Structure 1
Amino acid sequence: MSGFGKGCHLHLIDGSAFIFRAYHALPPLTRKSDGLPVGAVSGFVNMLQRYVEGNSGPDAATHVAVIFDYSGKSFRNEIYDQYKAHRPPAPEDLVPQFPLTRDATRAFNIACHEIEGYEADDIIATLSCQARDLGGRVTIVSSDKDLMQLIGGGVEMLDPMKNKRIGVEGVEEKFGVGPERVVDVQALAGDSVDNVPGAPGIGIKTAALLINEYGDLETLLDRAGEIKQPKRRQTLIDNREQIEVSKRLVQLDCNTPLDFSIDDLEVRDPEPEALLGFLSAMEFRTVSKRIADKMGVDSPVIPDKTPEGADPIAADAPAQVPFDADAYECVRDADALRKWVAAAYEVGYVAFDTETTGLNEMVVDLVGVSLSSVAGQACYVPLGHKSSAADDLFGGDALAEGQMDMNEALEILKPMLEDESILKIGQNIKYDAKILARYGVNVAPIDDTMLMSYALNAGLHGHGMDALSEQYLSHNPIEIKSLLGTGKSAITFDRVPVDDAVKYAAEDADITLRLWQLFKPQLHQKKVTTVYETLERPLVPVLARMEMAGVKVDRDTLSRMSNAFAQKMAGLEDEIKQLAGRDFNVGSPKQLGEILFDDLGLPGGKKGKNGAYSTGADILEDLATEHEMPRKVLDWRQLSKLKSTYTDALQNHINADTGRVHTSYLQTGASTGRLASTDPNLQNIPIRSEEGRRIREAFVAEQGKTIVALDYSQIELRILAHVAGIDALKQAFRDGQDIHAMTASEMFDVPMDQMTSDIRRQAKAINFGVIYGISGFGLARNLRIPRAEAQGFIDRYFERFPGIRTYMDETVAFAKEHGYVETLFGRKIHTPEIGAKGPQAGFAKRAAINAPIQGTAADIIRRAMIRMDHAISELPAKMLLQVHDELLFEVDQGAEDDLIAVARDVMENASDPAVKLDVKLSVDAGTGANWAEAH
């Protein structure tokens, strides 16, 4: 009698999915001693370890197995010889790692199985059916849609990529039918990946429609002659045999002959000797130490076996050097610090990090510096920690004992941090460089691991240190909140005891060095060295200088605007309440929903889980195309946001010492290369409304100076004309025509001399909308016209400029094939969602279409900013802000024309010589006492 039954829970892990995920997620890694590829094995081990550690609670497994695909053909190839024929062979460096993943599974004392002639899915199906029949639960750990036919009756799936459980409802959402009919839908729709033919021209949606109407595939095929649509009817009649073969291909075999039983899969704890022996043989130092510590045993000693003549950066295998927080050194005197400086000179580079009392680089104090030049070896130099007595009533700001004098430490560090022969490596090094600049240290030259990751992986994941450490080093760093606490009781870093600070701060330098050792060779391997070296790294000092210069903001102007906005909002509130026919709180979405959809009976009302109507901007914009009240509410909301986000909040960002606002630019804020701006965000000041434009009046020039704004004219349309090869647009730009009027003339057959501002406005909205892949819905909202009319405009646009549609189709096809798109300067923007289904698919396609255009524009302005620094160095001028396509300067009165001539030349020729555009770039310039006048 079987021991498995009610109360038991079987976990079935799709081993092949784990392997490929590990292979593609991590950088290449080779074993030091013999160069054997082990990157996928390393990732696979980490995934298994996380699984074992997380196997607790109500969903814990009592039985578990990792199921693999047997290499070679399966019985399905006998049914259809072209099954999986299009699949490319496994990457060359992955092949030797397959057997090692089986060894890894056994080392964790987890059952692993594969059967010749059958696929992993068939073994999973058989075990799932057996476990269900015995009354137990099953969780299939996989994201493979083919396994969804098994769900129900105690069987569910867990998508490990999204950490999302999939039950019967999830299947219905994916396929439009229940699990028992998934194979019928798949048989009709086919599968291009596995080369399952299906019925030509029938996709998942149509297949689900047909199966729901006729009940099952056999009935549908028997009654195919009744189908009204002639093409669909003929397809099913002509391809019946092919469809039936397809069903046999997608149907999983629940009777796979197994040479083991479920009872053999009982969960067993790993045995330290076997597991650590395997990890030691693989030379996985970090994970060996981590697992040994958890098991309470000694970590195995793994000898350093770097082959003679190997590249030290590649061979150092930083991911495998154990992290040991207790080994980090606290530097308390000059002699000890000089040893660390000497270590940097010995190798020619040093990873460094600063600890401060907060996040605002313009006001915080330096607390300490950490250094590392060898993976696993790092130090922390405490400089500004307060004594514990400083926390009491009379302690004041007394420094803790055992710290170097700040000036003495900086005197020793400054020559090395400024030495051209020593590379300084940081994670978001701009922050640290700005801190040290305030202490008289100019850090150069630099490398930045955050920017390296961005050049390599834009669009795939975030680029913060903790995330990079976890993903690429399999190490979870010490969390800052464990030292500082959270909420009102949080302390600043200078109040952290020095011994605790050493472990946290030195670890940051250690992690940064390891990430650099991993990423630096990859820049060349992934062909993004040029992007990093010409667009990312040289921009860091430029942005640092801009941020430290800041821009003067007049508090009185903001205060007057706040009052004016408040009065205008009050007037709009009265108008809205009159239209509503009663008093209510305009700022309450719940009350607004009741007015719009219950009282006024407007269409489109949808209630959320809380029972209240949704009144988001998209809902109101749809209604505003035909109704007055939602228009007024949108105007009121915009004023409310302007008041709270800008005219009120900007006053709090004015630096008390400089009287200026110092924003921070984030180079990795958007996958396309566009800069983001924070604390405060100056990129999002609205300019479409009169009130939004007025915010810029508060950004003023100092006495005796002028604000100069230079703005690229329609740069993205010019790039579109170039990349899509649209001759009419190119010629219009060459002739200096009004591009929006020209487009309107082409689309609406209106002569240029009869053009009205309204027709031009519509063409302008379409011109810019098309770049962003705008839909009929979106254009209707923008122009506040009915959707059908808006869609007609878009259709006509593509008829008149067919090159745009060709560009879009080719770009999406490239993204699907390669998983990324590129700017003209080689920046790769990854598109991981390009194959998604549902609403996500449309968003992913629009993003892929727009990215090369917006990204190229972003690259051009970056090139201009990098060159600008030197170009205006002889002028009495400073570059202050970058906002999308615009650069803002402050210049001495009388030198405006000189600045404009130099800056315009730099901006208009910024793409040369790397890219020769078919359309010349054009820059508009303006001057004034404030930003609004200059723009």
Structure 2
Amino acid sequence: MIKTEEELRKAVDSLNAQSAIGLDTETTELDPYTGRLRLIQLAAPDGVSIIDLDAFSNGGNGELANNQALLPLKRLLEAPRPIKIAHNAKFDAKFLKHNLGADLGGVFDSLLASQLISAGDIEERHGLETVATRYLNESVDKSERLSNWSFELSQAQLEYAARDAAILLPLREKLIDRLKAEALVKCALLEFECVMPVADIELAGFYMHKDRWLEQLAIVEKRRAELAEELQGILAEESLQGSLFGGTQRADINLDSHQQLTQALERLGIPVPDSTRNWKLQPLAAQYPVIATLLEYRTVQKALTSYGQNLIELINPATGRLHADFRQIGAPTGRFSCTNPNIQQVPHATEYRRCFSGYPTGRKLVIADYSQIELRILAEFSGDPGFMAAFNSGADLHRVTAAQVFNVPLDQVSKDQRDFAKRLNFGVVYGIGAQRFSMMTGLSAPEAENVLRKYFATYRGLDNYLREAANRAVHDRQARTASGRLVRFRYDENDRQQISMTQRNGKNTPIQGTSADILKRALRLLKDELSNTSARIVNIIHDEIVVEADGDQAKEISQKVERAMCAAGEEYLKTVPVKVETEIADEWIK
């Protein structure tokens, strides 16, 4: 237990001689803005140093960053060596940054390592107790985890704190063996280097104008009521029994019930597909206005239930901002996911996005996104001459595709034809077949089949690559991204539907996963590029990065962001140019 400057100096000197140390923290809350950093545990093979920060702060964390006695500790934490092994390192990194001003360096995250090794198995759990049992056959007692860390600590609490840090040393050795065996070392480094940038994003938060949001909610609530009434007027049955005073009475249906909705639509003579999911109903919207109304109702309903008042309740009282939780490996492909709130999926409509801005006044948003990155990755992987030529010449790929599919001159391609080709190009990335494409476009099955046949006759290199990727996924039961990220496929050989799903995932995983690799590399490069500027990354959405900066620096920051994002893409794409589009705005609008 370390409580003096001299004890800390000696411990840090000893720890600096190690190649790797275990790191854990104990805090009074889960939120760095409302909680206090109480303990830092640093484990070496010969024992665990537990630093009691109350001894250096008089019970408050406010002045820790300026406490000269903690400078050796801060340098140790920031240095690339020794390696700091932590389980869910992002959590510790946020508290260390907020309280000590330390950017955690040289990270090995055993949680991320375990997730990589699981290769997309969404059933597998990765808590420290589970991972320690899996790889070390040791149990970890977490009974003290929820105890009170604010006051005098018990011996049981101290032993718990020490064990959590100590177990990370042997755990890392086992995980390294598995990472090497599965050829995941390069991907693991990519993930570990992304920990601190993600911690920074969560600490920065995103500013949302509460009053604007409430105004928008009122409009959406009113629209939902109007749409619900309109739908019930069309879909509800009239009761034959009538009311108490004679006449008929309307029997409303549950608009969220697949069964009731199907029956009501069939009564109107509408050919309902086997599912009332949006993408299956979409082709019917042009022919049947009630379907268009239903789809709009669902859009506003989702906006209200997914976001609505929830967002206001999640504004942090200490900062006045939304601090979402970004999960680094949120999908088998390596894509991020986001919760509390999911600001990745705020509706695209201007009315919603205008509620988010730089803050305070004078701050701007730099909104940067990769242009057609998944199609560029597909061009790189397939080497298709048509795709390569379009990207290398700077031509509009969707316009080129439309000209081929509709057999018209390039300069005569209409907007509708280009939009059709765009859906076709992106549909191919996601491995869609004729049935799904016909649902998306309203084409008959033979027409959709014919369009796809013509498409792949035009882009033969694409066709060959995607066929090989699909067959390889079924044969090898796995796929990899450009960083070496591994995704295993589990399917029943006698189930044609599962085989078809595996083929589709085999086509999409390397493309979507490489896009995620590129974004993560960009975040690491931006961490360095934006240091010592007014800029902070406030949101990430698959191929988009939103940065907040002072207005007078926004143009310079925009150039830095574009440079870093292009550099990240060019590490993976060697024969296809990477294009990043940036915009400077007051609000999150493009």
In the alignment, the residues of structure 2 paired with residue 585 and residue 499 of structure 1 have an alpha-carbon distance, to the nearest angstrom, of: 61
Q: Is the 8 A contact 2:34 2:318 kept in 1?
A: no
**Aligned residues: percent identity?**
29
Q: Is the 8 A contact 1:706 1:927 kept in 2?
A: yes
- Residue deviations 1:698-719 (CA, integer Å, cap 9, x gap): 1112211221111111111111
- Aligned ranges for residues 558-707 of structure 1 at < 5 Å? 558-582=213-237, 583=250, 584=252, 586-589=254-257, 592-593=260-261, 595-596=263-264, 599-600=267-268, 616-617=277-278, 620=281, 627-687=288-348, 691=349, 693-702=350-359, 703-707=361-365
Query: Are 2:212 and 1:557 equivalent residues in the alignment?
Result: yes
CA, structure 1 residues 845+505, in 2 after alignment: closer, same or farther (shift >3 Å)? farther
Q: Is the 8 A contact 2:262 2:272 kept in 1?
A: no
Q: Is the 8 A contact 1:745 1:752 kept in 2?
A: yes
SS of structure 2 residue aligned to 1:931: coil
- Aligned ranges for residues 327-406 of structure 1 at < 5 Å? 331=1, 344-345=15-16, 347-374=18-45
Aligned residue type for 1:837: D
In the alignment, the residues of structure 1 paired with residue 107 and residue 145 of structure 2 have an alpha-carbon distance, to the nearest angstrom, of: 29
SS of structure 1 residue aligned to 2:329: coil
In the alignment, the residues of structure 2 paired with residue 431 and residue 854 of structure 1 have an alpha-carbon distance, to the nearest angstrom, of: 27
Query: Are 2:524 and 1:866 equivalent residues in the alignment?
Result: yes
SS of structure 2 residue aligned to 1:668: coil
> Counterpart of 1:922?
579
Unaligned 5+ segments in structure 2 are 60-66, 238-249
> Counterpart of 1:287?
none
In the alignment, the residues of structure 1 paired with residue 471 and residue 364 of structure 2 have an alpha-carbon distance, to the nearest angstrom, of: 49
TM-score, with structure 2 as normaliser: 0.84
> Counterpart of 2:423?
765
- Residue deviations 1:228-285 (CA, integer Å, cap 9, x gap): xxxxxxxxxxxxxxxxxxxxxxxxxxxxxxxxxxxxxxxxxxxxxxxxxxxxxxxxxx
> Counterpart of 1:512?
168
> Counterpart of 1:883?
541
In the alignment, the residues of structure 1 paired with residue 583 and residue 199 of structure 2 have an alpha-carbon distance, to the nearest angstrom, of: 25
In the alignment, the residues of structure 2 paired with residue 756 and residue 701 of structure 1 have an alpha-carbon distance, to the nearest angstrom, of: 38
TM-score, with structure 1 as normaliser: 0.55
> Counterpart of 2:91?
431
Aligned residue type for 1:432: D
Unaligned 5+ segments in structure 1 are 1-330, 385-397, 400-406, 485-490, 607-613
In the alignment, the residues of structure 1 paired with residue 408 and residue 455 of structure 2 have an alpha-carbon distance, to the nearest angstrom, of: 14
In the alignment, the residues of structure 2 paired with residue 621 and residue 858 of structure 1 have an alpha-carbon distance, to the nearest angstrom, of: 29
CA, structure 1 residues 848+510, in 2 after alignment: closer, same or farther (shift >3 Å)? farther
Deviates more, 1:364-373 or 1:757-766: 364-373
CA, structure 1 residues 360+787, in 2 after alignment: closer, same or farther (shift >3 Å)? farther
> Counterpart of 2:465?
807
In the alignment, the residues of structure 2 paired with residue 493 and residue 778 of structure 1 have an alpha-carbon distance, to the nearest angstrom, of: 55
Aligned residue type for 1:631: A
CA, structure 1 residues 554+729, in 2 after alignment: closer, same or farther (shift >3 Å)? same
In the alignment, the residues of structure 2 paired with residue 898 and residue 371 of structure 1 have an alpha-carbon distance, to the nearest angstrom, of: 40
Query: Are 2:133 and 1:470 equivalent residues in the alignment?
Result: yes
In the alignment, the residues of structure 1 paired with residue 145 and residue 529 of structure 2 have an alpha-carbon distance, to the nearest angstrom, of: 46
In the alignment, the residues of structure 2 paired with residue 628 and residue 585 of structure 1 have an alpha-carbon distance, to the nearest angstrom, of: 18
- Aligned ranges for residues 416-427 of structure 1 at < 5 Å? 416-418=76-78, 421-427=81-87
CA, structure 1 residues 872+767, in 2 after alignment: closer, same or farther (shift >3 Å)? same
Q: Is the 8 A contact 2:311 2:341 kept in 1?
A: yes
- Aligned ranges for residues 520-535 of structure 1 at < 5 Å? 520-533=176-189, 535=190
In the alignment, the residues of structure 2 paired with residue 587 and residue 368 of structure 1 have an alpha-carbon distance, to the nearest angstrom, of: 52
Measure how far apart 1:367 and its partner are: 4.2
Q: Is the 8 A contact 1:724 1:804 kept in 2?
A: yes
CA, structure 1 residues 929+411, in 2 after alignment: closer, same or farther (shift >3 Å)? closer
CA, structure 1 residues 636+504, in 2 after alignment: closer, same or farther (shift >3 Å)? farther
Measure how far apart 1:834 and its partner are: 8.7
In the alignment, the residues of structure 2 paired with residue 332 and residue 715 of structure 1 have an alpha-carbon distance, to the nearest angstrom, of: 50
The size of the alignment, in residue pairs, is 564
> Counterpart of 2:242?
none
* Pairing partner for 2:157 from 490, 501, 514: 501
> Counterpart of 1:91?
none
Cα RMSD (Å) = 3.5
Q: Is the 8 A contact 2:279 2:440 kept in 1?
A: no
SS of structure 2 residue aligned to 1:894: helix
In the alignment, the residues of structure 1 paired with residue 231 and residue 459 of structure 2 have an alpha-carbon distance, to the nearest angstrom, of: 42
CA, structure 1 residues 632+503, in 2 after alignment: closer, same or farther (shift >3 Å)? farther
Measure how far apart 1:931 and its partner are: 0.8
In the alignment, the residues of structure 2 paired with residue 640 and residue 430 of structure 1 have an alpha-carbon distance, to the nearest angstrom, of: 34
> Counterpart of 1:20?
none
Bigger RCO of structures 1 and 2 (CA < 8 A, at least 6 apart) = 2
CA, structure 1 residues 462+803, in 2 after alignment: closer, same or farther (shift >3 Å)? farther
SS of structure 1 residue aligned to 2:357: coil
CA, structure 1 residues 576+745, in 2 after alignment: closer, same or farther (shift >3 Å)? same
In the alignment, the residues of structure 1 paired with residue 556 and residue 513 of structure 2 have an alpha-carbon distance, to the nearest angstrom, of: 30
SS of structure 1 residue aligned to 2:44: strand
In the alignment, the residues of structure 2 paired with residue 520 and residue 551 of structure 1 have an alpha-carbon distance, to the nearest angstrom, of: 36
Measure how far apart 1:560 and its partner are: 0.8
Q: Is the 8 A contact 2:217 2:304 kept in 1?
A: yes
Query: Are 2:559 and 1:901 equivalent residues in the alignment?
Result: yes
In the alignment, the residues of structure 2 paired with residue 878 and residue 524 of structure 1 have an alpha-carbon distance, to the nearest angstrom, of: 35
SS of structure 1 residue aligned to 2:536: strand
SS of structure 1 residue aligned to 2:169: helix
Measure how far apart 1:838 and its partner are: 3.6
Measure how far apart 1:338 and its partner are: 7.8
> Counterpart of 2:191?
536
Measure how far apart 1:341 and its partner are: 5.5
CA, structure 1 residues 808+738, in 2 after alignment: closer, same or farther (shift >3 Å)? same
CA, structure 1 residues 590+845, in 2 after alignment: closer, same or farther (shift >3 Å)? closer
- Residue deviations 1:568-619 (CA, integer Å, cap 9, x gap): 112211221222155525544278437526744655588xxxxxxx755566
CA, structure 1 residues 378+812, in 2 after alignment: closer, same or farther (shift >3 Å)? farther
Q: Is the 8 A contact 1:355 1:366 kept in 2?
A: yes
CA, structure 1 residues 420+758, in 2 after alignment: closer, same or farther (shift >3 Å)? closer
> Counterpart of 2:411?
753
Query: Are 2:479 and 1:821 equivalent residues in the alignment?
Result: yes
Aligned residue type for 2:354: E
* Pairing partner for 1:440 from 100, 107, 117: 100
